[in-house]
Structure 1
Amino acid sequence: MTHTITLIPGDGIGPEVSRATQVVLEASGVKIDWEVQHAGAAVAETQGTTLPNSVLESIRRNKVALKGPIGTPIGKGFRSVNVTLRQALDLYANVRPVKSLHGVEPRFEGTDIVIVRENTEDLYAGLELIIMPGVAQSIKLITERSCTRICEYAFDYAERLGRKRVTVVHKANIMKLSDGLLLESFRKVALKHPKIEPAEMIVDACAMQMVRNANKLDVIVTENLYGDILSDLGAGLVGGLGIVPGANIGHEAAVFEAVHGSAPDIAGKGLANPTALIQSAVMMLHHIGESTAAQKIDRGLISLYERSEIRTADLGGSSSTEEFTEALCKAVATA
């Protein structure tokens, strides 16, 4: 079966890591017809927008997209492409597995958690205003609908992957109405999933727990802002943003992406580590039912990272993007 998938290469190192990921996917045996669409800072210069309608139309048509890192011009009035994609396509669940990769020296060995972040509202809804000179206000938007569906997604995910616990992270001790609504929704959803242990934790206590015993949290479900911060903290536990995958899931479409930046300072130099986007592509393969190919790439990555001679510069090595990709393809072929 051939899958038609939207590819957004992105800015900076985006085209390099996207090409590397395409090559690795091809080595796994999966058949993909790529529909390439462009978005980001480079597109803004020629089209006056960072996200042309053709990109959204392509994703709606194909239902699945793989996206490299994208830059947003600062101080020019452009909205974040990532935020716009999530809101326009109602990609309400941001899923970030945080797992130690064999052979990469992490801060904490054996970390294996998943952060499920509500993706469409909270302070990221962008509802801001100037009340008077020198006084700005941001409105924290929380709805029962969004709280319920993100909690349902987290519990369904935990059941599907054989997880034991879902931990809701909140600040309802202070924000009793908004975060209280998340907590109330979580408790109602938990009653429908008796096989999964529910747990509740205040966000600051969660941050401390993540650097003491992250695995106790298992699957975290939380709001947009908290999830954004905790996801990057989680990446730091296992070796950095260069190896952590991410996905944005909705009922009608899904976008899989590298969560690191576009790193324009090293663009075109062959220094980029494509692991994050490759791991995101592995999530994508599972999503489209190509688990055999996904498992081959997983085994190839483990095999490659267990051999210390193949490393990109971000992990202390000297291998180029191309050298890493070639070595991974060989490892996938024999996985």
Structure 2
Amino acid sequence: MYNVTLIPGDGIGPEVAYAARDVVDATGVSIKWDVVEAGEAVMKDYGTPLPDYVLDSIRHNKVALKGPITTPVGTGFRSVNVALRKELDLYANLRPCISFKGVKTHYEDVPIDLVIVRENTEDLYAGIEHMVGKHAAESIKIITREASERIVRFAFEYAVREGRKKVTAVHKANIMKLTDGLFLECAQKVAQDYPQIEFDNMIVDAMSMKLVQSPENYDVLVMPNLYGDILSDLCAGLVGGLGIAPGANIGDDAAVFEPIHGSAPKRAGLNMANPTATILSAALMLRHLGEDEAADRVVKGVAEVIAEGKEVTYDLGGNTGTKEYAQAVIRHMK
């Protein structure tokens, strides 16, 4: 039996999180869920959307499935997601982008199956910034050898484990010769340890164009924090949007699996949210636990429901509810 922390979140979070839990339970994998509340609902009692008991649960269980959480406005708290990554050293952000038959996109005839591996802890997103007098602001870009080598090695290890063929390092070393230059140097060094995996590198602006022109040519892309944030949303757009985009934040001691989309509080409680991204995030979780067969069945169930098109949510062109969509996935899994 696996112990897994479940953070329902707020807004549509509980609906999509519990739908994903139902799908995972239907695989037959034995999981004991430790349900812990975070987000706006606990602010009044704890003064923070991320109480210590949430972190304690994840540290104990090592694995968590999380629904979206609203970032409070005007409290000084940056983000639950950012805090989780920092507190648990979840240095790798994993964003698979896979096309599903039945999802209307501009690339319906192009098979897309690529993965963004984004460094999570530094770069401009470290938030080291200040005013320079009254009329200028400065943000400091931090790139370290340790973090760069760690994230590139994660990307190569992922490629080996998942049977992928190619890793592309994305950078802007032609302009930022020291910071991105160091990242590229580290990538080239680590690549030498994986001669069985093809390696190349590409400047981020050219990469953006190539992803739009020929996304089918790319496999695993690894990059610093800012570029990863931008390109992962771009790739989600190629395959149909954030509603079908799973995600994971992974460290050496813990991993949190979650959809990329927001909490959409206006749609909360209406049983109309699309749980696909959360269900696919749960499939990533199962694979992380070593339950590959169960993960494959979940992805197969999702793919068949979407391809059939009869029991999909409003954003996929149907009128099926969140709970009913999850039950359709379960039927197709079986």
Q: TM-score range by the shorter chain?
A: over 0.9
Cα separation, 1, equivalents of 2:46 and 2:219: 44
Q: Does 295-304 or 80-89 show the bigger shift?
A: 295-304
SS at match of 1:269: coil
**Equivalent residue, structure 1, for 2:72:** 73
Correspondences of 1:283-294 after superposition (within 5 Å):
283-294=284-295
Correspondences of 1:58-207 after superposition (within 5 Å):
58-108=57-107, 109-207=110-208
Q: Which amino acid aligns with 2:56?
A: E
* Displacement of 1:75: 2.5
**Equivalent residue, structure 2, for 1:45:** 44
SS at match of 2:156: helix
* Displacement of 1:197: 1.3
Give per-residue Cα distances to partners, 1:139-176, cap 9 Å, x unaligned: 11111000001011111111121211111101111111
Cα separation, 1, equivalents of 2:166 and 2:142: 27
Q: Which amino acid aligns with 1:87?
A: K
Q: Which amino acid aligns with 2:30?
A: K
Q: Does 60-69 or 303-312 show the bigger shift?
A: 303-312
Structure 2 portions without partners, runs of 5+: none
SS at match of 1:6: strand
**Equivalent residue, structure 1, for 2:12:** 13
Cα separation, 2, equivalents of 1:195 and 1:296: 29
* Displacement of 1:76: 2.2
- The answer to whether the Cα contact below 8 Å between 1:107 and 1:236 also exists between their aligned partners in 2 is no
Q: Does 324-333 or 197-206 show the bigger shift?
A: 324-333
Q: Which amino acid aligns with 1:11?
A: D
Give per-residue Cα distances to partners, 1:16-48, cap 9 Å, x unaligned: 001111111111111111111122233223311
Q: Does 99-108 or 12-21 show the bigger shift?
A: 99-108
Give per-residue Cα distances to partners, 1:162-200, cap 9 Å, x unaligned: 211111101111111111110010110111111111111
Q: Which amino acid aligns with 1:168?
A: A
- The answer to whether the Cα contact below 8 Å between 1:241 and 1:259 also exists between their aligned partners in 2 is yes
Give per-residue Cα distances to partners, 1:264-287, cap 9 Å, x unaligned: 111111110000000000010011
**Equivalent residue, structure 2, for 1:27:** 26
* Displacement of 1:3: 1.0
Q: Does 230-239 or 126-135 show the bigger shift?
A: 126-135
Cα separation, 2, equivalents of 1:90 and 1:96: 17
**Equivalent residue, structure 2, for 1:316:** 317
SS at match of 1:61: helix
SS at match of 1:97: strand
Cα separation, 2, equivalents of 1:44 and 1:314: 31
Instruction: Using structure 2 for the length normalisation, give the TM-score.
Output: 0.97
What is the RMSD of the two structures over their aligned residues, measured on CA atoms?
1.1
Aligned residues: 332
Cα separation, 2, equivalents of 1:137 and 1:314: 40
Cα separation, 2, equivalents of 1:134 and 1:10: 39
- The answer to whether the Cα contact below 8 Å between 2:90 and 2:251 also exists between their aligned partners in 1 is yes
- The answer to whether the Cα contact below 8 Å between 2:100 and 2:307 also exists between their aligned partners in 1 is no
Q: Which amino acid aligns with 2:325?
A: F
SS at match of 2:181: helix
SS at match of 2:214: helix
SS at match of 2:308: coil
Cα separation, 2, equivalents of 1:197 and 1:328: 36
Instruction: Using structure 1 for the length normalisation, give the TM-score.
Output: 0.97
* Displacement of 1:297: 1.3
* Displacement of 1:105: 2.2
SS at match of 1:132: coil
Q: Which runs of 4+ in 1 moved over 6 A?
A: none
* Displacement of 1:323: 1.8
Q: Does 41-50 or 72-81 show the bigger shift?
A: 41-50
Q: Which amino acid aligns with 2:5?
A: T
Give per-residue Cα distances to partners, 1:116-148, cap 9 Å, x unaligned: 000111111111112211322111111100000
SS at match of 2:132: strand
Cα separation, 2, equivalents of 1:136 and 1:123: 13
Cα separation, 2, equivalents of 1:324 and 1:201: 40
Cα separation, 2, equivalents of 1:41 and 1:219: 36
Cα separation, 1, equivalents of 2:219 and 2:94: 13
**Equivalent residue, structure 1, for 2:296:** 295
SS at match of 1:166: strand
Cα separation, 2, equivalents of 1:247 and 1:130: 34
Identical columns (%): 57
SS at match of 1:35: strand
